């Protein structure tokens, strides 16, 4: 299973290219797939849980018991500022790989201007999903999309 993103911010998941676009009636703002913007503020982490049984006795503090740890989810992606003329988007895209559940993506978008637009997810150049996503200056919008 190959899951990664390219230097231009395009995600490649299971051999499919994921493009992200904010569309207004006047213009399309490409949020990834741009070589003029460095996608180098990389985010990568693991979620994990630990559980265990410990025996506590004042004379044997720190002795005994057992702990188990397991990773529950891997996350990778980036955050960036997408500048297009006088418009700036703070954008974060993460691919989430939970143990035993569906892979999904988390997107967060904040604009410096008000827009009445749509957030599009394009898979291999075709619109896979489109969400009505009005934006107000400085107020973030966030969504999760299950990769299908």
Q: Work out the average pLDDT over 123-138.
A: 96
- Kindly tell me if the per-residue pLDDT of 65 is higher than 60: yes
Report if residue 101 sits inside a domain.
Answer: yes
Report if residue 87 sits inside a domain.
Answer: yes
Q: How is 121-137 classified by DSSP, letter by letter?
A: EEETTEEEEEEEEEE-B
Report if residue 13 sits inside a domain.
Answer: yes
> Tens digit of pLDDT for each residue in 31-64?
999 999 989 999 999 999 988 776 555 555 555 6
Distance, CA of 91 to CA of 54 (rounded, Å): 44
Query: Is 31 exposed, middle or buried (CB count within 10 Å of its CB: 0-12, 13-18, 19+)?
Result: buried
Query: Greater confidence, 66 or 107?
Result: 107
Q: Which domain holds residue 30?
A: 9-45+74-146
Domain total in the chain: 1
Report if residue 113 sits inside a domain.
Answer: yes
H-type alpha helices, 46-109: none
Q: Tell me what the pLDDT averaged over the chain comes to.
A: 91
């Amino acid at each position: 299973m190959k899951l990664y993103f390219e230097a231009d911010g395009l995600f490649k998941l299971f051999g499919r290219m994921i493009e992200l676009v904010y569309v207004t009636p006047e213009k399309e703002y490409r949020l990834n797939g741009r070589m003029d913007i460095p996608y180098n503020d990389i985010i990568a982490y693991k979620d994990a849980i630990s559980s265990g049984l410990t025996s506590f006795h004042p004379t044997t503090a720190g002795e005994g018991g057992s702990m188990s740890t397991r990773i529950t989810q891997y996350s990778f992606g980036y955050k960036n500022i997408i500048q297009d003329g006088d418009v700036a988007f703070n954008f974060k895209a993460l691919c989430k790989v939970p143990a035993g559940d569906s892979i999904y993506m988390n997107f967060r978008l904040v604009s410096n201007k008000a827009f009445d637009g749509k957030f599009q997810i394009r898979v291999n150049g075709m619109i896979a999903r489109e969400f009505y996503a009005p934006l107000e200056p400085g107020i973030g919008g966030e969504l999760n999309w299950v990769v299908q």
